[in-house]
């Protein structure tokens, strides 16, 4: 039996394939969960099994956006410590974060996922590293929220084991034991990781950062990931304070420290990488280590400007991340396309730093590459998963912008008319189809207030 087909036509198409192929007016055919064809003009009129034909006049069709760094639980601690740098901000928030439980994390994950999905994200990730004693099944709650929203998902099972008494930044009551963290990470992989083509859930091993985990947890975490065949994720080279911390404790900078613990490689991606010298960039390029660039968070916490143009020139895989919403507040990825371009043009490469098309590539194919899914998603090509977004560009905000890709990247946040994950529509006219946004908004507010009460802030 022929697969069910959905035809999208009469729209601009940015495929983000290797040659950046675009069509001013083109079409795409979805067959089952895959892209069957994409090209100029209208789709053939004699296709079998067409269940839906979408006239997408006035729209731009792109691959779905990919978010490569986030902390969902922070959705319920937004708007706090808004004028702090990273270390001061962490110290201000750890005591609150140490009181999270399963209900709070489920609501926060729903809020984070809903905000991303309605803004065109089709592949999301969550780096969760706070597991207070007696908090319940946080991993299960996060994976459940992703299923409810309908996005493809990577859970980076995080951990912290270097409390204040070991010279770390988090208070002792917020950290796990090394054996407990490794056992729970392995259990999360066994229960949730799927390595098949088109997997909806994958798991990565993700100790939090050099200043909150021990060298031994980094080493053993890398061994665990390689034994299980999953990816590795952590924070790296985010601030000058972290660089100073590494020199004082380990006698070397963060990149050399990561290399000494087995944390550079094609299966690793790191958030931020703001403070990288030429030899750090060469080490990432040599080993194929990926980067999650988080321009809004880096600006909000005054961390600095990552050297994205130099990373791209060196061949480093780079994707975009919103980072946790306690250091971003918005939690939307499509605005990060614009911020990546703007922030990098404030750096030394000025107007040549990034083009609008490079920004779109970072947010799609680049993200799929750092999550290890570039063969399956991230561009509009026959055989890939039908993860794609129709952006409406014929309203007041965008109708007079000459170039549709520039309209998407530089213009106001464009409305999402439709978003598909594996051929299944998850957003229609800017609203989620499989989750109730108003109910999620209410429960995130309730859980935020409950956490503030329990943590003694209200």
Please give the residue ranges that form the binding site for Zn ion (CB under 5 A): 271, 323
Tokens encoding 64 = 């779905």
Instruction: Report the nearest approach of Zn ion to the CB of residue 73 (Å).
Output: 11
Instruction: Report the nearest approach of Zn ion to the CB of residue 232 (Å).
Output: 15
The residue at minimum Cβ distance from Zn ion is: 323
Q: Which H/E stretch holds residue 359?
A: helix 356-361
Instruction: Report the nearest approach of Zn ion to the CB of residue 297 (Å).
Output: 7
- Phi/psi at 53 (nearest 5 deg)? -125, 115
Closest CB to Zn ion among 255 and 297? 297
Closest CB to Zn ion among 63 and 324? 324
Question: How many residues does this entry show for the chain?
Answer: 458
- Phi/psi at 209 (nearest 5 deg)? -170, 165
Instruction: Report the nearest approach of Zn ion to the CB of residue 15 (Å).
Output: 31
Instruction: Report the nearest approach of Zn ion to the CB of residue 235 (Å).
Output: 5
Q: Where are the alpha helices (DSSP H) in 261-301?
A: 278-287, 295-300
- Among 269, 246, 330, 257, residue whose Cα is nearest residue 296: 330
Closest CB to Zn ion among 303 and 393? 303
Closest CB to Zn ion among 31 and 271? 271
In terms of C-beta density within 10 A (0-12 exposed, 13-18 middle, 19 or more buried), how is residue 374 classed?
Answer: middle
Closest CB to Zn ion among 185 and 296? 296
Strand partners, 207: 159
Closest CB to Zn ion among 151 and 326? 326
Closest CB to Zn ion among 27 and 70? 70
Tokens encoding 236 = 């790296």
CA 217 to chain centre: 24
CA 302 to chain centre: 20
Instruction: Report the nearest approach of Zn ion to the CB of residue 272 (Å).
Output: 7
- Phi/psi at 356 (nearest 5 deg)? -60, -40
**What gap in Å lies between CA 72 and CA 129, rounded to an integer?**
10
CA 9 to chain centre: 29
């Amino acid at each position: 039996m022929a697969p069910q087909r959905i035809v999208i036509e009469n729209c601009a198409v940015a495929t983000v394939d290797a040659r950046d192929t675009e069509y001013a007016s083109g079409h795409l055919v979805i067959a089952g969960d895959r892209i069957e064809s994409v090209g100029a003009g209208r789709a053939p009129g004699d296709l079998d099994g067409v269940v839906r034909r979408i006239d997408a006049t006035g729209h731009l069709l792109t691959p779905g956006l990919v978010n490569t760094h986030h902390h969902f639980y922070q959705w319920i601690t937004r708007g706090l410590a808004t004028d702090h740098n990273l270390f001061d901000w962490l110290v201000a928030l750890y005591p609150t974060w140490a009181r999270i439980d399963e209900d709070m994390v489920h609501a926060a994950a729903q809020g984070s996922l809903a905000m991303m999905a309605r803004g065109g994200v089709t592949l999301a990730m969550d780096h969760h590293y706070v597991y207070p004693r007696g908090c319940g099944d946080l991993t299960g709650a996060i994976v459940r929220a992703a299923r409810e929203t309908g996005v493809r998902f990577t859970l980076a099972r995080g951990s912290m084991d270097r409390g204040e008494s070991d010279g770390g930044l988090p208070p002792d009551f917020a950290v796990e034991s090394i054996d407990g963290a490794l056992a729970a990470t392995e259990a999360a992989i066994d229960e949730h990781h799927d390595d098949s083509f088109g997997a909806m859930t994958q798991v990565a091993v993700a100790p939090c950062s050099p200043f909150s985990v021990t060298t031994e947890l980094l080493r053993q975490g890398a061994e665990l990931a390689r034994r299980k065949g999953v990816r590795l994720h952590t924070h790296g080279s985010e601030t000058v304070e972290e660089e100073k911390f590494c020199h004082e404790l380990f006698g070397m900078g963060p990149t050399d420290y990561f290399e000494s613990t087995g944390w550079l490689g094609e299966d690793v991606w790191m958030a931020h990488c703001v403070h990288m010298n030429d030899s750090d960039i060469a080490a990432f390029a040599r080993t194929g280590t990926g980067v999650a660039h988080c321009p809004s968070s880096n600006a909000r916490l005054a961390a600095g400007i990552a050297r994205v143009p130099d990373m791209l020139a060196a061949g480093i895989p780079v994707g975009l991340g919103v980072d946790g919403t306690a250091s971003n507040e918005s939690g939307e990825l499509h605005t990060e396309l614009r911020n990546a371009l703007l922030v990098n043009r404030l750096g030394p490469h000025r107007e040549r730093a990034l083009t609008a098309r490079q920004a779109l590539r970072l947010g799609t194919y680049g993200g799929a590459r750092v999550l290890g899914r570039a063969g399956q998603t991230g561009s509009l090509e026959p055989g890939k998963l039908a993860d794609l977004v129709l952006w409406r560009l014929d309203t007041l905000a965008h109708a007079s912008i000459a170039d549709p890709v520039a309209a998407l990247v530089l213009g106001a946040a464009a409305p999402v008319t439709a978003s598909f994950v594996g051929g299944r529509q998850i957003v229609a006219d800017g609203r989620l189809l499989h989750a109730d946004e108003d109910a999620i908004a209410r429960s995130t507010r309730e859980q935020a207030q409950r956490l503030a009460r329990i943590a003694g802030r209200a």
